[in-house]
């Protein structure tokens, strides 16, 4: 994958900016994914002033190491994983809830 094919750019101070479309990914999915990367990176989130459907994420390494496109690729893979989890939960979450409810029902000994 060439860096020009993903909405990514290097910015000043060894930072990366990744632009995400809110019509493709929910804000909850973006937040859940970003949270998983907060151990290694400072992540700043802002909206685009010209396009409200675009979220800018800026990554800065906590340890001062170089940031390259592999960070964005890992983030995108995790983003897809989180989005699929959200879709599955929306579609089948009620079944999980019924199973948990049934599993924790009190047992009557008669």
pLDDT at 94 over 60: yes
Q: Which bin fits 102, alpha (ψ -120 to 50), beta or left (φ > 0)?
A: alpha
pLDDT digits (tens, 9 = 90+) for 57-84: 999 999 888 888 888 889 999 999 999 9
Dihedral sign of CA atoms 55, 75, 32, 12 in order: negative
pLDDT at 5 over 70: no
pLDDT at 3 over 50: no
Dihedral sign of CA atoms 36, 40, 45, 48 in order: negative
Give pLDDT, residue 12. 81
User: Using 50, 70 and 90 to split pLDDT, how confident is the model at 32?
Assistant: very high
Please state, in angstroms and rounded to a whole number, the distance separating the CA atoms of residues 10 and 68: 8
**Higher pLDDT pick, 66 / 23:** 23
């Amino acid at each position: 994958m060439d860096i020009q094919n993903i909405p990514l750019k290097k910015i000043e101070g060894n930072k990366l900016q990744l632009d995400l479309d809110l019509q493709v990914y929910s804000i909850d999915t973006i937040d859940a994914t970003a949270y998983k990367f907060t151990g290694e990176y400072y992540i700043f989130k802002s909206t685009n002033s010209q396009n409200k459907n675009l979220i800018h994420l800026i990554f800065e390494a906590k340890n001062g190491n170089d940031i390259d496109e592999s960070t964005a690729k890992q983030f995108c893979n995790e983003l897809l994983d989180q989005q699929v989890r959200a879709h599955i939960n929306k579609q089948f979450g009620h079944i999980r809830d019924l199973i948990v409810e049934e599993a924790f029902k009190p047992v009557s000994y008669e």
